Amino acid sequence: MEFKDKRVIVTGGTKGLGKAIASTFAQAGAWVAANYHADTKSAETAESELKQITNNVIISKTDVASKDEVDKFIKSVINQWEHVDILVNNAGIIRDKFLMFLGEDDWDSVIETNLKGTYLCSRAVIKPMIAQKFGRIINMTSPSAVTGRAGQTNYSASKGGIISFTKSLSKEIARKRMCFPVSYLWGGLEALMMLPALCFSWLPRKPGTLPDKC
């Protein structure tokens, strides 16, 4: 699978799983842009480590729950690199509490970062990707989206919403009969192993509904 010179955006890509994803793409020859929300120290460390792998790195302080900030970030990447090939919606937070103790702020912050952030970032890249007739969007979700977990009504709802969002968006793209997969993926080590397949091949589909070749 060839990632050389592909332009990749990884939200929340300066620590944890996001950092590992960004590093994996960089090692494969991709140009990597990543955002962070508040942890400047981790962002600086990630930038330094990524630049040891590739010179093509953009790190931006961007709140994925803010339309203005997301649009500015995506436009900046496109202006500098001409296009974006792959978006990994990885940014997410948790505010775990049992529902009886879960405040409105705890609910809103998780939904806005995890679900609204996925919407805003996808929306910002969708037109440029359609115009260039190429793109990949991978949305990170969680087993909690399907199984549920005590203390995670907000998180489970956000990740379940991402699955439904992804399925609906993939149908919109399919109507245009373009080679443009939109996929969701659980977090963890398996995510790193699955990325190449999701970026370069279609998921199982009904024959005749999408292009046969990418």
Set 36, 119, 155, 184: catalytic member: 155
Contact 143, 186 (CB under 8 A): yes
The DSSP line for 45-98 is HHHHHHHTT-S-EEEEE--TT-HHHHHHHHHHHHHHHS---EEEE---------
Q: Give the Cα separation of 16 and 39 in Å (integer).
A: 12
Q: Catalytic site residue 184?
A: no
Beta bridge partners of 89: 139
Q: Please identify which residue in the block is written with the tokens 């359609």.
A: 130
- Structural domains in the chain, CATH included, are 7-200 (3.40.50.720)
Q: Give the Cα separation of 160 and 110 in Å (integer).
A: 12
Residue by residue, pLDDT tens for the chain (214 residues) are 589 999 999 999 999 999 999 999 999 999 999 999 999 999 999 999 999 999 999 999 999 999 999 999 999 999 999 999 999 999 999 999 999 999 999 999 999 999 999 999 999 999 999 999 889 999 999 888 988 999 999 999 999 999 999 999 988 887 765 555 677 776 654 455 555 554 544 333 333 333 334 3
Stated pTM of the model: 0.87
Q: Between vectors from CA 80 to CA 123 and to CA 92, what angle results, nearest 5°?
A: 40
